[in-house]
Amino acid sequence: MPAQPEKMLVGIDTGGTFTDVVLLAGEHSRHCKVLSTPDDPSRAIHEGLERLGVADRPLHIIHGTTVGTNAVLEGKGARVAYVTSAGFADVLTLGRQDREHVYRLRQPEVDPPVEPDLCLEVSTRIAADGQLLARADDGELTSLADALEARQAEAVAVNLLFAFLRPEEEQRIAAALAGRWFTSLSSRVLPEIREYERGIATWLNAAVGPVISRYLERLARRLPASRVAVMQNSGTTIAAEQAADQAVRLLLSGPAGGLAAAGLVGRVIGRERLLSFDMGGTSTDVALLDGGIPLTRDARIGPWPLGTQSVDIHTIGAGGGSIARVDAGGMLLVGPQSAGADPGPACYGRGGEAATVTDANLVLGRIPADTRLGGYLALDRARAEQALDGLAAQLGCDRLAAAKGVVRLANEHMARALRVISVERGHDPRDYALFSFGGAGGLHACELAELLEIPEVVLPARAGVLSALGMLASRPGRELSRAVLSEVRTLDDASLASGFAELEALAAGELEREGVAPRAIRFRRRLELRYRGQSGGLVSDFVPGADHAEAFHERHRQRYGHRLQHAVELVNLRLAAAAPAPLASLSPLPPRAGLAVARQVPMAELDGPVAVVERASLADGDRLEGPAIIVEPDATAWVPPGWRLRADAWGNLRLRCSD
């Protein structure tokens, strides 16, 4: 019997500066880092696979993409027409009337998500109890199509009032428009109360869907032999064939991979309370993990609420490519503007002239001058020095002081982000380890730990491409919901179980189409409850036989310090469905020769030379005292004086301050 071909798994993370590719084939792994190609991210993906020699092989690819994110933030989504019930065309424009600057008398003007001429109304009207009050006839729907044609709409978002109670009414409109426009239905995208949030999610889905669809088609043409899945906001994956219809669930696709990897490594090393710190070329993502991936329903993209279940990540515009400049008052600023991949930092030698954080680290000697980023991109120290000299002249200081200032200010930005997801939420950073990854994370991790008094830093193996590895540690899954809006005491467990069973059938059907065996799917049933009259609710697991109202009273008391004598209302049924991840565990690395100092290099901040250590030479149990520079093709780490390092069996580096 002929041997079966080895299954090849590929995780891909497309960032603003670099595209990371991790290949797993049996017990063997390889990875690479290539410059991103923002005009067509599929080109960088194909280049990375070519570097690994597998571009023409049948692959199982799991991909985190920023295509949808960039389309929204840059205003490059499809031209969307918004269709709603008569009298509600202004809902998206009015929004929640939130004040961006609470105490400013005149608020900045914000363009509406959909221009008024593209907000169209139909007579279909559904009441709060699901009763159909009015229905658009066929002639009205024909007129609607004509209006869409005249306005040159590229996509349509349909959001009828209370459509989640009668989804067939939106489906009827979609059928009338079938084949002519990409159509997004609120009863499919987010079948829940709150017409503004539901409308924004439906609009985002319509705006990004065609963009995602075209991109995935290009990727499929480049990789015809491969099967592609895409990371979702919730940290689970969806097949590329189904992704465009759920585009709003891909807008936080990239950062989710890093959290999946952090969770996997944390379980392996027995350190599950982590502050994750992912510093790339363009931005830095931070999150707090306490035994699982943190999720939220309050995530936003730009000024818009997503409404969907998403990883709870705080992102700031601080990365290796963040540009340093001096404002009109002579103050040094770092970020959020980034040099990106093209032209990139000055030291890339691709035409960039502004000083960046990477240039500062190179001038300080924390990045050795002979480093090749990604294993191939040589750095130009002279250009970095020239950029820092220009900055220093504006600041009235020397080059070294300017470089130190850039790094110090970048550290303060990132420390503030870590405080947002820890201290400001009642968590003490000293109870966690700083889990640092991304190509630039190791250069700043120890100093951030000192600023926040974090006792331990973990630099995981493959730190520079960890988000790509995390794609493979993510499970195929779905997050579904259904609005109920009834007093919970009027509902018995049988009716609730029936509602969950319908959602489970929908989720299982979608996952089975991706090749997931039904017996491999695991479901989690949850109830979203609130006091009648409240806006927000609390979500808890559905426990058959429990007194759901009493359980909510107690949870409300624990969360807010009091309980009320109001009726408890069931807002939504929530279902999470997931199958096993392709990568469920990590194996210890094979034995290595042990610690070997590659060379000594001068360090601008210190009097004597500093040891440069190849990370691949560090074996289980090896120890090292700072100062030292740890190098590998896709990442560099700086171990300051007073810090000590220990390598573990999985290739992770555990660092603690000697004081």
CATH number at residue 61: 3.30.420.40
24-81 per-position pLDDT tens digit? 987 788 888 888 888 889 999 999 999 999 999 999 999 998 888 878 877 889 999 9
Does residue 528 carry a pLDDT above 90?
yes
Q: What is the mean pLDDT of the chain?
A: 90
pLDDT for res 364: 93
Q: Nearest Cα to 121, choosing from 152, 138, 143, 95?
A: 143
478-517 per-position pLDDT tens digit? 999 999 989 999 999 999 999 999 999 999 999 999 989 9
Does residue 388 carry a pLDDT above 90?
yes
125-160 per-position pLDDT tens digit? 999 989 999 999 999 999 999 999 999 999 999 999
pLDDT bracket for residue 4 (50, 70, 90): very low
CA distances from 321 to 261, 481, 521 (A): 24, 40, 41
Are residues 135 and 217 located together in one domain of the fold?
no
Are residues 127 and 31 located together in one domain of the fold?
no
Are residues 170 and 228 located together in one domain of the fold?
no
Last residue of a domain, one of 578, 593, 615: 578
* Averaged pLDDT for residues 275-301: 87
Judge whether 590 and 625 are in contact, CB under 8 Å: no
The CATH number assigned to the domain holding 493 equals 3.30.1490
This prediction has a pTM of 0.86
Q: Assess whether the previous peptide bond of 590 is cis (omega < 30° from 0).
A: no
The answer as to whether 607 is a domain residue is no
The answer as to whether 640 is a domain residue is no
* Averaged pLDDT for residues 201-209: 95
The answer as to whether 66 is a domain residue is yes
The answer as to whether 156 is a domain residue is yes
pLDDT for res 72: 84
Q: How many domains does the chain have?
A: 3
* Averaged pLDDT for residues 7-12: 91
551-600 per-position pLDDT tens digit? 999 999 998 899 998 999 999 999 999 999 998 888 888 777 777 777 88
Are residues 39 and 62 located together in one domain of the fold?
yes
Number of residues that this document lists for the chain: 659
| Cα torsion angle, 554, 556, 558, 564, sign | negative
- Burial class of residue 273 (count of CB atoms within 10 Å of its CB; 0-12, 13-18, 19+): middle
Q: Which domain holds residue 68?
A: 8-73+213-250
The answer as to whether 145 is a domain residue is yes
Does residue 2 carry a pLDDT above 60?
no
pLDDT bracket for residue 601 (50, 70, 90): confident
Tokens matching residue 272: 């599950």
- Name which of 141-145, 288-292, 412-416, 548-552 the model is least confident about: 288-292
Judge whether 170 and 119 are in contact, CB under 8 Å: no
Are residues 87 and 111 located together in one domain of the fold?
yes
